[in-house]
Structure 1
Amino acid sequence: MPLQTVIQKLARFNISKRLEKILKVFVFSYFAVFTLSSLIQSHNGYRLVEIRNSPAPIVDNNSNHSDNENVIINEFEKLYPNCNLLWSNSISQKSVQSAMNKSDHALASVLSSDGKFPECVNYFQKRVHLYSPGEITEGEKNFPLGFSLIVDRNFDRVEQLFMSIYRTNNFYCFHVDKSADDQFKAQVSKLASCFTGNVIVASNQVDVVYGQVTMLIAELVCMQELLRFSSKWRYLINLRGNELPLMTNLELAAVLAALNGSNVIDGPSSITFLPNRFPDQLPYGLTKYTSMPHFALSYDACHWIIRDGRQVTDELLKTLQPFTFQEESFFAILQFNHQLKFPGGLRINISDPMYYNLSASYYTQGPFSRYHRLAQNDSACTSGRSQNHICLIGVETLPELINHSHGRQMFANKFQWNFQPMAWDCLLAWNYHKVKTEKATAKLPMSHYSFLDNVKLQYLRKWGEEKL
């Protein structure tokens, strides 16, 4: 079968969702090979989501929508003091339990009772100051970021995540699961259409199934489309719908700019207990590595994956295709095999005895891109609940997020929309409060330098001139 048709068939091939708790699933046996080259097809009719020619009323800090504005702002500003007590541990256990039992989210949905997204003008009237509580700094303007959001359900959660990370100078790609319901697809498309010039919905949609190669393909689709869309963004951060930022956009831009092109990939992790993830041998003599599927990749790294390094990435994807959880190995293999000279990747042989101390730091000082806690069962989690061996974030997780993880990890994962909603609401309110107040000092907390020191250990930039 011609490779050009593989991705087209995949986009049309619709299989049912597997239960997320099944850790080992079969990849598409229908396809003999599945390479990256099938993703980088060029065709004249390439169409991104339609973007208005006339400007939409994105954010005007001088606008006067006093009635709507005050109601929306007060939902966060009234919530913040109570949330502050939760993460400062200055609250009784009875009050903590009350917060845990709260069943409704603080921020009202923008959708109508029948699930329709409002007209853009009405939408911005409801959300205007939540999108831009402060002016964008020159540092942010000079360092635009790219974001890919892989989503499949729960529009309110997706919209609030997007709201927390949106800036007019950044670029955003939504990959909406092919198997998502039509109403959700329409909601995301309408949201994207309200923003001129920096938000797209991937035109090539795949049916994302947990543990299968489609999880990786969805990431690559948005990577490809953002490369086509703009060359201005400096880093690409991948997101799912079940996480929120632990850094503001100002902090993200400052930290990533300081990395000078180095990538952020959590890992590598041990592959000893992952026999079903890899073949006996990888192409090009590459060493097997795995990591969590979260990253912040430089523009040059993304360009290499989709274009300059196609021969390597095609062959690697073809080799990994029959196995599982490819998104947890594909990027790690590129990042940690120093001989590839992958842009922003490792520049030393991590297995070399002379770098023993550095190698040890990989396993003890991460993760950097995400807060997440692995657990064998629910009882190992502060919240008392886990999903796919990752602890869900609850109200009692907030002190650790705010007092420890802020500045050490970029995003918090994972939330479940109907599990202790106040945890989500409070982190959202905290982020809003930080954005609103940080412009007064424009200084990063000291904890950010811990983040930079850790990453600096991983990514020594001068080829052949490494010094510990």
Structure 2
Amino acid sequence: MRLLKAGRLILLLKLTIVLGSIWMLSLFSYPKTSWDPTYILSYSWLEYTDADGIPETACNCSAILRGEREALEEAKLLSITRDFRESVHIPDEYYINATQDCREFQLSRKYLTIPLSQEEEDFPLAYSIVVHHKVDNFERLLRAIYAPHNIYCIHVDKKSEPSVFSAVMAITSCFPNTFMVSQPVTVVYAAWPRVQADLNCMADLYKASTKWKYFINLCGQDFPLKTNLEIVRMLRSLKGGNSLESEQMPDEKKWRVTSSHKIVDGGIQWAGKAKEPPPFNLPILSGNAYIVVNRGYVRSVLEDNRIQTLIEWAKDTYSPDEFLWATIQRIPGVPGATWPNSKYDMSDMNAIARLVKWQWHEGSQGSLEAVYPECHGNHVRSICVYGAGDLKWMLEQHHLFANKFDTDTDPIAVYCLEKYLRQKALAELQ
């Protein structure tokens, strides 16, 4: 009986590999055939379960997601235990070696290489992911958002360690719809190259496929809060609109766009002179680096002369990623844009692009002054690096993605979230 079951399992795996391979080979070959639900044989083996034998299964994810105190305390104790943290760490070399056999890599890492629904297949998405370290974080993010009909551009910071570049390149080489950016740059925090990295991926994605509907930019420490089907449905509900933070520039930030800056020794410094006013008397809006925008918005960024002029003007500002996209979103004529009047302002909590906990907006439960509850992890540059205790609250929000996660700090938070999303994605098939 055991041999019979094993034989059936092997047959199922082989058939799934063949179907996945056929799908990937025909990824960019149109016209495409209609989605066939008979491709979905059984996805129970793609769930993340205790049988996987990975160290994270020591925690009770169901109890953690319900916010049960005992489970959260056990998770916190595990996450600070050196032996546990060492046992869950995946070195860069693993990915370099494991991807020598791409089919085995896809199977062992449980990638979804077949579209789960016609609805998702008919609404492909384009992703830009900027990475500079923590390949383990990046790979788990890619696995969580991967779908064969989407398209992914990966930008690795030119100053990253060679092992990071090699591992990320090895991973992307296993998927025909995932590629390294054609023009990588050396990213400098709060300086223009951070924007240029996304611009270069935007251009590559726009040229690579005419099919995708929306562009979403991520970094290696983001993670989704929704399944691909949920993301597709939320984007459809925008009816061609964009969703990103775009508000009036607060007085305490105006120096960023009124003073000229330059890059010196890998950092950004004041250049000692004032900047000229923005072109076309454009109102400069405040926002953040992460956006959810339609294809027309991206086309405008790449081709609209007004935006090209704004881009040139912005190159010597401080933290241009925190105003450029927000400003473009309010330029009349840009697809999905809104009017620059303050009545149309959108905060990061109202936009669906990214959920971030800033330290100065945190507060105790029930506090009317707090924007969100206190961080259960730790803070880096005043941003909460989420812990397992943040998950219950996060999953109650409407955002598509959250930042930041770190498998070196709290691997259980990532594991329980990816397990939850995979189970939900497979349950959506029923």
Band of TM-score, shorter chain: 0.7 to 0.9
* Residue 241 (structure 1) aligns with: 220
* Residue 179 (structure 1) aligns with: 159
One-letter amino acid matched to 1:413 = N
One-letter amino acid matched to 1:391 = C
Distance, in Å, in 2 between the alignment partners of 1:77 and 1:438 is 27
**TM superposition shift of 1:268:** 1.8
Equivalent residue pairs, number: 368
Check whether the contact 1:264–1:296 (CA below 8 A) recurs between aligned residues: yes
* Residue 251 (structure 1) aligns with: 230
* Residue 288 (structure 2) aligns with: 292
One-letter amino acid matched to 2:399 = Q
Distance 1:258 1:76, change over 3 A: farther
- Partner of 1:322, secondary structure, is coil
TM-score by length of 2: 0.77
Check whether the contact 1:86–1:399 (CA below 8 A) recurs between aligned residues: yes
What does the per-residue CA deviation read over 1:73-128, in whole Å, with 9 as the maximum and x for residues that have no partner?
Answer: 6358984981110121234264354344354388674865695343213312312x
Distance, in Å, in 2 between the alignment partners of 1:181 and 1:55 is 32
TM-score by length of 1: 0.71
Matches within 5 A, 1:23-422: 74-75=52-53, 79=57, 82-92=60-70, 94-102=73-81, 103-104=84-85, 109=90, 112=93, 116-119=97-100, 120-127=102-109, 130-132=110-112, 136-196=116-176, 198-268=177-247, 270-279=249-258, 281-307=277-303, 309=304, 311-337=305-331, 340-346=332-338, 348-351=339-342, 355=343, 359=345, 362-363=346-347, 365-376=349-360, 381-383=374-376, 385-402=378-395, 404-405=396-397, 408-422=398-412
One-letter amino acid matched to 1:125 = L
Q: Alpha carbon RMSD of aligned pairs, Å?
A: 3.4
Distance, in Å, in 2 between the alignment partners of 1:218 and 1:369 is 18
Deviates more, 1:364-373 or 1:185-194: 364-373
Distance 1:108 1:322, change over 3 A: closer
Distance, in Å, in 2 between the alignment partners of 1:175 and 1:394 is 27
Distance 1:384 1:155, change over 3 A: closer
One-letter amino acid matched to 2:107 = Q
Check whether the contact 1:177–1:206 (CA below 8 A) recurs between aligned residues: yes
**TM superposition shift of 1:426:** 1.1
**TM superposition shift of 1:226:** 0.5
Distance 1:293 1:176, change over 3 A: same
Distance, in Å, in 1 between the alignment partners of 2:75 and 2:105 is 33
**TM superposition shift of 1:57:** 8.9
What does the per-residue CA deviation read over 1:51-86, in whole Å, with 9 as the maximum and x for residues that have no partner?
Answer: xxx9589698669998x9998963589849811101
**Structure 1 unaligned spans of 5+:** 1-53, 441-468
**Structure 2 unaligned spans of 5+:** 1-19, 26-38, 259-275, 364-372
Distance, in Å, in 1 between the alignment partners of 2:251 and 2:389 is 33
- Partner of 2:60, secondary structure, is helix
Distance, in Å, in 2 between the alignment partners of 1:375 and 1:312 is 36
Distance 1:332 1:106, change over 3 A: farther
**TM superposition shift of 1:273:** 1.0
Higher relative contact order (CA 8 A, sep 6+): 1
Distance 1:82 1:178, change over 3 A: same
Check whether the contact 1:57–1:124 (CA below 8 A) recurs between aligned residues: no
One-letter amino acid matched to 1:327 = D
Q: Greater share of strand residues, 1 or 2? A: 2
**TM superposition shift of 1:133:** 9.0
One-letter amino acid matched to 2:359 = A
Distance 1:91 1:135, change over 3 A: farther
Deviates more, 1:372-381 or 1:224-233: 372-381
Distance 1:97 1:170, change over 3 A: closer
Distance, in Å, in 1 between the alignment partners of 2:147 and 2:385 is 28
Distance, in Å, in 2 between the alignment partners of 1:144 and 1:317 is 28
Check whether the contact 1:395–1:422 (CA below 8 A) recurs between aligned residues: yes
Distance, in Å, in 2 between the alignment partners of 1:114 and 1:133 is 18
What does the per-residue CA deviation read over 1:188-212, in whole Å, with 9 as the maximum and x for residues that have no partner?
Answer: 222112112x111112110011111
Distance, in Å, in 2 between the alignment partners of 1:78 and 1:180 is 28
One-letter amino acid matched to 1:345 = A
* Residue 429 (structure 2) aligns with: 439
- Partner of 2:421, secondary structure, is helix
Distance, in Å, in 1 between the alignment partners of 2:136 and 2:56 is 20
Deviates more, 1:364-373 or 1:112-121: 112-121
One-letter amino acid matched to 1:126 = S
Distance 1:73 1:234, change over 3 A: farther
**TM superposition shift of 1:183:** 2.2
One-letter amino acid matched to 2:128 = S
